[in-house]
Amino acid sequence: MMHKRYAVKISGDGDLAGLLTKLVTIKTKITSLSVVDGVARFRTDRNGLRAIRRNRRHYRLKVVIKVADLESGSVNFFTSSRFLIACFIPFAASFFLWTVDVESDMPEVVDRIERKLEKSSIVPLRPLALIQDEGEIRRTLMLDDPALSWVRFKRVGTSLTVIPMLSPLTNNIIDKEEPASNLVARTGGVITRFELKKGERISRIHQTVKKGDLLATGVLEQGGKTTVVGADGAVYADYWVEYTFTLPKKIDFQLQGEEIVEYSFNLPWNQNGEDKWSPQSLVKTERYMKETAGQFVLKKGMEETVLIPLLKNKLLSESFSKAIIKDEKVLHVTFDNDKVSGTILFLINDNIAVKRLIPKETEPIG
């Protein structure tokens, strides 16, 4: 609690030195004391006033008392521990996430995003250092959510706003059902698993099939009754792919490095008047990814360490999203002056099922 201060002026023909000595003797609080031409000026508190009033007549002196101006109070405040605490609280608060908002006109989208954010521990009062980068948060929110085409983020101080962008609605409504089909193999391989939505298995796991073999049928027979329902789904198999390539010997690359976080202080007296200052905006955070560009030359001995991983990524980018490469065998690699060429066998596990219409004569009559 701040104690009120009083400005005291003592003058007259009495014993000024005796009064001051008396006040010091009884431990009266006196600050900013000055004596000019027999007039003493100083500041004291309420207890000091009582002591002055009790003794001024004895020393035959005139006393003028005024309430001290507020300037001294502000100086005392800025030099006190309370000011340091008042500064430390918003500074410490700036290292925590205080608000998380989701901007969307659709309540169901807001609820869905908020549940995923809470599951990922992106909640208020979480330290900013433990918050994932925007790329990881975006992948988490868009996972298994086809309604989202992108997710934007707006971070101001310790506030995070998530702005989900919905995929455009299509007006193409398909009323006509697809013709009933069987599932056949688009290439040969060894079956590893089935993920059928409709239909009945014809092949079995670990069976070797050839291109065109029937994998699942859409014609069901039960008790002499035949029903055409169609087959749909995926059948995964292991198969070898011979991959022939030609690459330039010098390859340019660009690497995404570590995330750089920069903090800057937004002091209230540096405001230009555009935004209202708040304790949460004391520290501004800027994040960006450091990227490194360069070039390397393919040489003999890099087949396993560089060439095969490079071709794996290229092959998977050209294939289906769920394909995986389980093994590889180098048939031959040739290093020329300006290019590298060769052939590599890759063991791939992927969906080999494609639809083939059920012949009309197979469908039941009536």
Q: What is the pLDDT of residues 166-197, one digit of tens each?
A: 766 555 444 456 788 999 999 999 999 998 88
pLDDT in tens, 156-165: 878 888 888 8
At residue 169, the pLDDT reads 57
Sequence spans of domains, the chain: 6-78
Structure tokens belonging to residue 150: 């992108």
CB atoms within 10 A of CB 310: 16
Distance CA 262, CA 27 (A): 53
Given a cut of 70, the residues of the chain with pLDDT beneath it are: 1-4, 69-80, 83, 144, 167-177, 223, 256-257, 265-283, 288, 319-321, 361-366
Please choose, from the candidates 320, 327, 330, the residue with its C-alpha nearest in 3D space to the C-alpha of residue 351.
Answer: 320
3-state secondary structure 316-328: HHHCCCCCEEEEE
Which runs of consecutive H residues, i.e. helices, occur in the chain? 16-25, 46-55, 70-78, 81-93, 107-119, 134-142, 308-318
Predicted pLDDT at 77: 55
> In angstroms, what CA-CA distances link 17 with 12, 21, 24, 51, 64?
12, 6, 11, 15, 17
Name, in order, each residue with C-beta under 8 angstroms of 206's C-beta and a sequence gap of 6 or more: 190, 191, 192
d(CA 191, CA 189): 6
Hey, which CATH number is domain 6-78, 2.60.40, 3.40.50, 3.30.70, 3.40.1010?
3.30.70
pLDDT given for residue 75 in this prediction: 52
Q: Residue 8 and residue 250: Cα distance in Å, rounded?
A: 87
pLDDT attached to residue 268:
61
What's the pLDDT at 363?
56
